[in-house]
């Protein structure tokens, strides 16, 4: 496809809760692969629900705008999600942003998911539809699985049930613990998440 600039830029807003290692991989890929020039897409902001999220300092060091919405300050999940949508809107004046969940440890309300339907993507540390939810590595080991992995998927109102964009598979080795398996899966997450987003941008016109 042509590398001509798009007339309308499309922001990516990345949501994190911790170190943001997947966020870092996405930011680096966006720079290296020239997403702005090729797809009109750029990382507009990093938002965290935890004030102590280490990824915020990394993002600020890269010159990226950051924002914090402490979920503990809101009386309900609905109130937090409404404030989160408003925070995203500050970086998304044309309502075209893709919202990227990168270790964002919150279950989003149906109203939030509906607002960003088709523009909301997540990565989950299992081979969905197996092991949605938490403690995926422990559950895979306990079930006697020979393989585990990660899944990039669009977010729908049903937890970890959205259309799959990409998956990576890793073996479960004898003696694996949830921690050793998680580390091996994470290296694959850093590869497939940027790749899936890049293809998503290309196939959907930025």
Domain ranges of the chain: 10-203
Q: Is the pLDDT of residue 109 over 70?
A: yes
pLDDT value of position 204: 86
State the sign of the Cα–Cα–Cα–Cα dihedral 10, 15, 20, 21: negative
What pTM was estimated for this model as a whole?
A: 0.94
pLDDT average, residue stretch 142-155: 98
Question: What phi and psi, each to the nearest 5 degrees, are found at residue 140?
Answer: -65, -40
Percent of the chain with pLDDT over 90: 93
Residues with active-site annotation: 124
- pLDDT tens-digit map of 11-68: 999 999 999 999 999 999 999 999 999 999 999 999 999 999 999 999 999 999 999 9
Query: By percentage, how much of the chain surpasses pLDDT 70?
Result: 96
92 and 11 in contact (C-beta within 8 Å)?
A: yes
The answer to whether 56 and 15 are in contact (CB under 8 A) is no
| CATH number belonging to domain 10-203 | 3.40.50.170
């Amino acid at each position: 496809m042509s590398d001509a600039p798009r007339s309308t830029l499309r922001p990516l807003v990345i949501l994190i809760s911790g170190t943001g290692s997947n966020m870092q991989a996405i930011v680096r890929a966006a720079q290296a692969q020239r997403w702005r020039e090729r797809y009109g897409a750029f990382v507009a902001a990093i938002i965290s629900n935890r004030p102590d999220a280490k990824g915020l300092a990394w993002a600020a060091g890269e010159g990226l705008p950051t924002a914090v919405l402490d979920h503990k300050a809101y009386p309900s999940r609905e109130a937090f999600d409404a404030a989160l949508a408003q925070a995203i809107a500050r970086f998304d004046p044309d309502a075209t942003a893709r919202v990227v969940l990168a270790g964002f440890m919150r279950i989003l309300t149906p109203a939030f998911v509906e607002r960003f339907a088709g523009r909301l993507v997540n990565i989950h540390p299992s081979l969905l539809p197996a092991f949605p939810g938490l403690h995926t590595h422990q559950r895979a080991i306990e079930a006697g699985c020979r393989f585990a992995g990660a899944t990039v998927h669009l977010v729908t109102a049903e937890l970890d049930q959205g259309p799959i964009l990409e998956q990576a598979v890793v073996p479960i080795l004898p003696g694996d613990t949830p921690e050793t398996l998680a580390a091996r899966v994470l290296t694959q997450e850093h590869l497939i998440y940027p790749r899936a987003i890049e293809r998503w941008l290309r196939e959907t016109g930025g």
